[in-house]
């Protein structure tokens, strides 16, 4: 039985949590970038991108297919998530994560960060690898409204206990009067999945 004094001391001086919280930046090697570029052009890469694109459109029509896609939308942010399921492997799921980032560069975006966050949640360890992209602002004429393209884009790969769980892409638009209206999210989807 806990005494009154132990209870008061516990509230005044709570025990520190020993949970893990690590955030670190990382980079892709030249070889990893070349592997992603090759994978995107391969039959496997094109087939998996096509499958994700098809399942996205199925989901918007109310049809669930596997791997399952989840639609995320609100007034200022839209996106989707892809569950880690067959036919993905850990390797191809990681390639898809970097392939989406490669497509953002192709669309004229600048990658402003590539980081990994590891945190302990109850008895599990969640790892989030994240790429964050912004429209290029270096060539902006500040006498005119700024073209935000589709808005800011984050791409996350979430793993639980070192096993992939899902990929999430979220597009957040600027509502500030300094920016032109963002291009439609439907067009973003078409351009993201466009194959060369």
- Residue range 81-94: mean pLDDT, rounded: 96
pLDDT for residue 15: 60
Q: Residue 5 falls within a domain, yes or no?
A: no
Closest CA to 104 of 140, 150, 53, 146: 150
The two structure tokens encoding residue 76 = 């200022």
Q: Residue 18 falls within a domain, yes or no?
A: no
Q: Residue 180 falls within a domain, yes or no?
A: yes
pLDDT for residue 17: 58
Confidence at 92, pLDDT banded by 50, 70, 90: very high
Q: What is the mean pLDDT of the chain?
A: 89
Confidence at 16, pLDDT banded by 50, 70, 90: low
Beta bridge partners of residue 128, listed in sequence order: 117, 158
DSSP class of residue 153 equals E
Q: Among 46-50, 148-152, 177-181, whose mean pLDDT is lowest?
A: 177-181
Q: Residue 96 falls within a domain, yes or no?
A: yes
Q: Which residue has the higher pLDDT, 74 or 61?
A: 61
pLDDT for residue 139: 65
Confidence at 177, pLDDT banded by 50, 70, 90: confident
Q: Is 70 exceeded by the pLDDT of residue 184?
A: yes
Q: Residue 183 falls within a domain, yes or no?
A: yes
Task: Give the integer Cα–Cα distance in Å for 14 and 149.
Answer: 48
pLDDT for residue 195: 54
Q: Residue 2 falls within a domain, yes or no?
A: no
- Residue range 172-179: mean pLDDT, rounded: 87
pLDDT for residue 20: 74
Task: Give the integer Cα–Cα distance in Å for 83 and 71.
Answer: 12
- Total number of domains in the chain: 1
DSSP class of residue 17 equals P
Q: Residue 22 falls within a domain, yes or no?
A: no
Q: Is 90 exceeded by the pLDDT of residue 66?
A: yes
Residue range of the domain that includes 140: 27-193
Closest CA to 171 of 136, 140, 132: 132
Q: Residue 97 falls within a domain, yes or no?
A: yes
Tell me if 161 sits within 8 A of 143, measured CB to CB.
Answer: no
């Amino acid at each position: 039985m806990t005494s009154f004094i132990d209870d008061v001391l516990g509230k005044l001086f709570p025990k520190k949590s020993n949970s893990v919280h690590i955030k670190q930046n990382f980079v892709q090697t030249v070889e990893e970038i070349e592997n992603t570029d090759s994978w995107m052009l391969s039959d496997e890469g094109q087939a998996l991108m096509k499958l994700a694109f098809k399942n996205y459109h199925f989901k918007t029509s109310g049809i669930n297919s596997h791997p399952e896609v989840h639609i995320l939308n609100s007034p200022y942010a839209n996106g989707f998530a892809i569950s880690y399921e067959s036919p993905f492997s850990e390797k191809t799921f990681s390639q898809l994560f970097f392939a989406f980032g490669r497509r953002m560069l192709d669309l004229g975006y600048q990658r402003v960060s590539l980081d990994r966050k590891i945190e302990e949640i109850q008895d599990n360890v969640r790892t989030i690898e994240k790429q964050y992209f912004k429209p290029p602002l270096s060539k902006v004429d500040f006498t005119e409204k700024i073209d935000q393209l589709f808005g800011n884009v984050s791409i996350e790969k979430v793993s639980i206990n070192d096993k992939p769980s899902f990929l999430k892409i979220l597009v957040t638009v600027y509502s500030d009067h300094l920016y032109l209206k963002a291009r439609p999210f439907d067009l973003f989807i078409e351009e993201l999945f466009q194959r060369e």
